[in-house]
Amino acid sequence: MKTAPSTQKNTKLDTSYKPKQDYLDRFLKVGFLPITIFFMFIILIPIYILVKVSVSQPVDVLTQHPTFLIHNFTTSHWEKVLSSGNLIPAFSKSFIVATATTILAICIATPASYVISRLPKKIKYVIVLGIFFTKMFPNVGIALPISVKFIRWNLLDTHIGLVLAHLIEQLPFITWILVGTFEVIPVDLEKSAMIDGATRIRALWSIVLPNAAPGLAVAAMFTWLNSWNEFTYALYLSLSTNTLPLQVYYYVNRGGFFPMATYATILMVPVLIVTYALQKYIRSDYLGGAIKG
């Protein structure tokens, strides 16, 4: 007899909570699209202004009240950059270094991360902390001693020297990403493959790596983008040929708004291409249905 009031009270609490939840769901459904559009607008505004400056006449930019839209379209800034002879060497150097850094980083970090992910938790935790400890040192603090060492090794102003310098920065980060990727892949998948007659290498190549494709895509994308946009090591290790970020920095120092905007726009285009090319490998529920029972 005494339990009835408490049951009624709980029922009232539940019914009073449902309208609030309904209001929250309606707000999220109605407000999600406007909020998304607003933040996309905030993100795209600087990119649009950058492109606008690179294709606008000086009268539209160097004025007290510059217009938002493009009124006097011109390709003269792009023609000057393309005919200057400085774009192709800088672009090729940035592209080669970023691509080589990504390939080497994935080849080195993938087996290392797989081994770390299969270690006992305590040992794995210590190793991951040790990897992150290397990220505590800023690039500015270690770029100078690295450049001095590279001078002795005849690696200054070379592609391989810049690749090795970028690996110092990228390997700890993508190792952390890949350790988390391999951790969520069940060991039972490998055991099932080995029961069917596959060797451990075969199970790793045919079972683990395909299931780790989203994590590998994320690691490759971040490595390529970070190497493509890297500035500190390029400043210390590049003498005769600049990278694209150094070219932008060069025109920023000179005060050339239009060449700077043009180079920055060119710097942005491969980023969009690489991100679009790798995003198809990044999808959720990649392991859905892999193990039954």
Domain assignment present for residue 174? The answer is yes
Question: How do residues 181-199 score in pLDDT, each as one tens digit?
Answer: 888 888 888 888 888 777 7
Domain assignment present for residue 260? The answer is yes
- Predicted pLDDT of residue 287: 45
How far is the C-alpha of 223 from the C-alpha of 235, rounded, in Å? 19
Tell me: pLDDT of 2 over 70.
no
Are the CB atoms for 145 and 77 separated by under 8 Å? no
How far is the C-alpha of 97 from the C-alpha of 109, rounded, in Å? 18
Are the CB atoms for 291 and 189 separated by under 8 Å? yes
Placement of tokens 């490595």 in the chain: 223
Mean pLDDT of 102-107: 94
Domain that holds residue 274: 89-279
Domain assignment present for residue 97? The answer is yes
Mean pLDDT of 233-250: 87
Strand partners, 56: 73
How far is the C-alpha of 235 from the C-alpha of 146, rounded, in Å? 12
Banded model confidence at residue 9, pLDDT cuts 50, 70, 90: very low
Lowest-confidence region among 10-24, 182-196, 199-213: 10-24
Domain assignment present for residue 20? The answer is no
Q: Which secondary-structure segment (H or E) carries 12? A: helix 3-54
Mean pLDDT of the chain, nearest integer: 82
**DSSP category for residue 204:** I
Domain assignment present for residue 82? The answer is no
Domain assignment present for residue 285? The answer is no
How far is the C-alpha of 202 from the C-alpha of 199, rounded, in Å? 5
- Predicted pLDDT of residue 291: 41
Compute φ and ψ for 52, nearest 5 degrees: -60, -45
Placement of tokens 């592209």 in the chain: 95
Mean pLDDT of 263-278: 86
Closest CA relative to residue 222, chosen from 275, 264, 181, 286: 275
Map 207-256 to HEC letters. HHHHHCHHHHHHHHHHHHHHHHHCCHHHHHHCCCCCCHHHHHHHHHHHCC
Banded model confidence at residue 165, pLDDT cuts 50, 70, 90: very high
Mean pLDDT of 18-40: 72
Helix axes 87-117, 121-133, angle to 10 degrees: 160
Domain assignment present for residue 222? The answer is yes
How far is the C-alpha of 39 from the C-alpha of 41, rounded, in Å? 5
For residue 158, give the 3-state DSSP assignment: coil
Are the CB atoms for 287 and 108 separated by under 8 Å? no
Count of domains forming the chain: 1
Domain assignment present for residue 9? The answer is no
Tell me: pLDDT of 1 over 50.
no
- Predicted pLDDT of residue 223: 93
172-209 exposure pattern, b = at least 16 Cβ within 10 A, e = fewer: bbbbbbbbebbbebeeebbeebeeeebeeeebbeebbe
Give the domain CATH number at 175. 1.10.3720.10
Mean pLDDT of 199-217: 84
